[in-house]
Amino acid sequence: MPKITIHRDGEAHQGDIAADSNLVVLAGIRKFPYPHLSYMCGMGKCGTCKSRIVAGAEQLPEPNWREKKTLGDEALAEGYRLVCQLRIFEDFEIEQEGPVRGPRKRTP
């Protein structure tokens, strides 16, 4: 099972996922990487899931048209990707900046 690591504000959150998974789909169904992943539209439009790839980039396909449009050449060259557009097969390590953004559970 691929091991996922999410770095944010000096902390590392780790969990295992099934191979051939999309991290935003998993977070959307409230499995790890929920609640540690920032995401929103799942369409490659809003850029909320923008992540810098720390390790595991070799398993990824070339950026698709949405990533090129939303992130631009400079961010892509710096190693950023939109995780909503990616399926993960092997260990993968990313860094996201700022507080976690996305759908949250209501506090009872």
Partner 1 sequence: MTELMSREDFRTALETAIKGNTATKSPFSIAWATGRLSRDHLARWAENHYHYVGPFADYLAYIYARTPDHYIDAKDFLLQNMYEEEIGGDRHTDLLIRFAESCGTTRERVENPDNMSPTTRGLQSWCYAVAMRENPIVAVAGLVVGLESQVPSIYRRQTPTLRDKYGFSDEEVEFFDLHIVSDEIHGERGYQIVLEHADTVELQQACLKICGIGAQMRLLYTTALWHDYVKDDLSREDAEAVLAA
Residues forming the site for partner 1 (CB under 8 A): 22, 24-25, 28-30, 40-43, 45-46, 64-66, 84, 103, 105-106, 108
**Minimum gap (Å) between residue 25 Cβ and partner 1:** 5
**Minimum gap (Å) between residue 105 Cβ and partner 1:** 7
- Residues 15, 73: Cα–Cα separation, whole Å: 31
Nearer to partner 1, 3 or 30 (CB): 30
**Minimum gap (Å) between residue 46 Cβ and partner 1:** 6
**Minimum gap (Å) between residue 10 Cβ and partner 1:** 30
- Residues 93, 108: Cα–Cα separation, whole Å: 33
Nearer to partner 1, 28 or 54 (CB): 28
Based on DSSP, count helices (H) and strands (E) in the chain, helices before strands. Answer: 2, 5
**DSSP-derived pairing of the beta strands 92-95 and 3-8:** parallel
- Residues 60, 22: Cα–Cα separation, whole Å: 12
Q: Specify which residues 53 forms β-bridges with.
A: 94
Nearer to partner 1, 27 or 53 (CB): 27
Nearer to partner 1, 11 or 107 (CB): 107
- Residues 35, 31: Cα–Cα separation, whole Å: 8
